[in-house]
């Protein structure tokens, strides 16, 4: 089948420009709003650290996370698409909530990843995950202390230590049934990268772009179709 340049122009005309406008402004507004609490500390209570301390804090942040600020959007983009990127990088929790929401919705609805259909479905799934995430979080903020006080220690440990690894194991199974070669290749690649102790931003690049590279080789060789 010849799939080349089969692009739905009517959809992209209606979708892209408005999506970008919504995303751009919501991210800028959020960025400004996120500085409101420390600024209020300053304006109302006069609490402001010395400028040297603030610059030192900024430097430490850039050293620890600066690379992620750039690498993460690039690495996640092909999973999220346009609107998904704006939503996920506003609301955060990329690997533990947004990617699972996007991939599970595509999987259950039988949508081919990377298509225009996937763009719509991903948008809706991520939006749904943001809304529930915020509702549950709000409950956690208001009642969290009381709830946590009543949970036995071993269950508390279980909830904070085991939910995520179980989920990633399970999600890996959904990918592995579709493509066992790639599943083995990617996991081995990542385990090796982890064992040689790469800094985690380099590890992320290897995981995503190494996997895409491996997929390219298998595609060109006709092992995956």
Partner 1 sequence: MEENILSVANSWPIWIAAAVLVTTVVTQSVIYIKHAYNNAPLVGVTPAECKEAVRIGMVTSIGPTIAIFIVVVSMMIVVGAPITWMRLSMIGSASTELTACTLGAQAYGVELGGEGYNLEAMATAWWAMSFNGAGWLLICAFLTPHLEKVRMRVSGGDMRWLSLITSAAMLGLYAYMLAPYMVGMGGQCFVAIVGFVVMYILIKLSAKFKWLKEWNLGIAILIGTAAGIIFA
Contacts 24+ apart (CB under 8 A), 1-5: none
Q: How far is the CB of 71 from partner 1 (least distance, A)?
A: 10
Among 150, 215, 221, 223, binds partner 1 (CB under 8 A): 215
Q: Buried b / exposed e across 197-223, counting CB within 10 Å, b at 16+?
A: eeeebebbbbbbebbeebbeebeeeee
161 lines the binding site for partner 1 (CB under 8 A): yes
Q: Tell me the C-alpha distance between 87 and 124, whole Å.
A: 10
Among 201, 202, 219, 223, binds partner 1 (CB under 8 A): 219
Q: How far is the CB of 3 from partner 1 (least distance, A)?
A: 4
Q: Number of residues in contact with partner 1, rule: CB under 8 A?
A: 166
Is residue 121 within 8 A of residue 84, CB to CB? The reply is no
Q: What does the block give as tokens for 63? A: 């050293």
Q: Buried b / exposed e across 63-101, counting CB within 10 Å, b at 16+?
A: eeeebeeebbeebbeebbbbbbbbbbbebeebeebbbbb
130 lines the binding site for partner 1 (CB under 8 A): yes
Burial of 119 (0-12, 13-18, 19+ CB in 10 A): buried
Chain positions 99 to 118 lying near partner 1, rule: CB under 8 A, are 99-105, 108-109, 112-118
Among 150, 171, 202, 221, binds partner 1 (CB under 8 A): 171
3 state SS of 225: coil
Q: How far is the CB of 28 from partner 1 (least distance, A)?
A: 6
> Which of left, alpha, beta for 224 (phi over 0: left; psi -120 to 50: alpha)?
beta
Among 165, 199, 221, 222, binds partner 1 (CB under 8 A): 165
Chain positions 17 to 76 lying near partner 1, rule: CB under 8 A, are 18-20, 22-24, 26-31, 33-38, 40-42, 44-45, 47-49, 53-54, 56-62, 64-66, 68-70, 72-76
210 lines the binding site for partner 1 (CB under 8 A): yes
217 lines the binding site for partner 1 (CB under 8 A): no
194 lines the binding site for partner 1 (CB under 8 A): yes
221 lines the binding site for partner 1 (CB under 8 A): no
């Amino acid at each position: 089948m010849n799939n080349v340049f089969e692009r739905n122009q009517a959809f992209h005309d209606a979708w892209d420009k408005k999506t970008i406008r919504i995303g751009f402004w919501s991210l800028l507004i959020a960025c400004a709003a996120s500085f409101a609490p420390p600024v209020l500390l300053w304006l109302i209570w006069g609490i402001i650290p010395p400028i040297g301390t603030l610059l030192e804090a900024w430097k430490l942040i850039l050293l620890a996370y600066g690379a992620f600020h750039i690498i993460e959007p690039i690495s996640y983009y092909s999973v999220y698409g346009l609107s998904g990127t704006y939503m996920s990088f506003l609301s955060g929790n990329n690997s533990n909530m947004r990617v699972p929401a996007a991939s599970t919705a595509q999987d259950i609805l039988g949508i081919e990843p990377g298509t225009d259909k996937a763009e719509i479905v991903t948008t809706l799934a991520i939006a749904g995950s943001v809304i529930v995430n915020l509702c549950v979080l709000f409950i956690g903020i208001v009642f969290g202390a009381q709830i946590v006080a009543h949970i036995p220690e071993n269950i508390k440990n279980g909830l904070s230590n085991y939910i995520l690894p179980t989920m990633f194991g399970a999600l890996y199974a959904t990918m592995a049934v579709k493509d066992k070669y790639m599943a083995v290749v990617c996991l081995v690649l990542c385990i090796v990268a982890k064992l040689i102790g790469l800094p985690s931003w380099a590890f992320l690049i290897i995981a995503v772009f190494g996997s895409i590279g491996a997929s390219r080789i298998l595609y060109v060789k006709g092992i995956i179709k």
